[in-house]
Amino acid sequence: MTTRLAGRRILITGASRGVGAAVAASFAAEGAHLALTATARDHLAPVIRDIGETGREALALGVDLRDPMAIAAVARETLAGLGGLDVIVVNAGLLGYRGPLLDCPPGVWDDVLAVTVDGTFHLLRALVPEMEDGGAIILVTSGAAGRPGWGAYGVSRAALNAQAEMLRAELADRDIRVVAVNPGPARTQMRADAYPDEDPRTVPEPAELTGAFLAIAAGGDPGPFVEIPEWRARNENSAS
């Protein structure tokens, strides 16, 4: 059977649950060689087990994305374990607090920015020079980027969008496609924390949202920014 990601070496951060875990499962089913991160390696056990039941394997790595030294170490482990790198999916991030920006507790601000903005920078700085030309970087963002009432989370996602835009231009000569992907509403714990009164049955399961990730990892370039609800309406409905 031909698989779209056969031989592709891919790192996914924040892969223990939610969108990250769903993307990991879909990539494994398409033949990718995977390295997965979470704050603790044990958190990845269910995902690694489920991937193993399909006959695939994945490398499980624990990393504190607030710690540049830990990021450098996990970058080395990724490259050694996969033998190189073709695609990076940066999914890890923190919600922290939802409310007015200036009411955000300083410690929450520090943690959210350290993981989502600083952590992404240090990870990409360590890995991109070692990536294959023609690869892809997917930064998972949010419609809350820059929106009032979203505190440090809104700032962190706006900063992530800026990183994606800058890197897309700066890495164009290596044909590395950099795409910011907003999954939209998804049935995740972060969504439940942000919208505690929402009925989770009214939003899609993360497994329904992986098509755009697969298309980009397989070589597609939908542009600098993708809204998955719009992508699904355009691509999945036309294919049905």
Which member of 27, 97, 109, 153 is catalytic?
A: 153
Q: Radius of gyration over alpha carbons of the chain, in Å?
A: 17
Say which residue the tokens 């890495």 belong to: 171
> Phi and psi (nearest 5°) for 136?
-145, 145
One-character DSSP codes across 102-127: GGS-HHHHHHHHIIIIIHHHHHHHHH
Q: Other CB atoms closer than 10 Å to residue 173's CB: what's the count?
A: 8
Say how many CA atoms lie within 13 Å of 164 toward its Cβ.
27
Interior angle at CA 76, CA 56 and CA 207, nearest 5:
35
Classify burial at 223, counting beta carbons within 10 Å of its beta carbon; exposed 0-12, middle 13-18, buried 19 or more: exposed
Interior angle at CA 178, CA 126 and CA 171, nearest 5:
65
Contact 140, 206 (CB under 8 A): no
Q: Which residues pair with 136 in a beta bridge?
A: 87, 177
Would you call 97 a catalytic residue per the annotation?
Answer: no
Q: Which residues participate in catalysis according to the annotation? A: 153
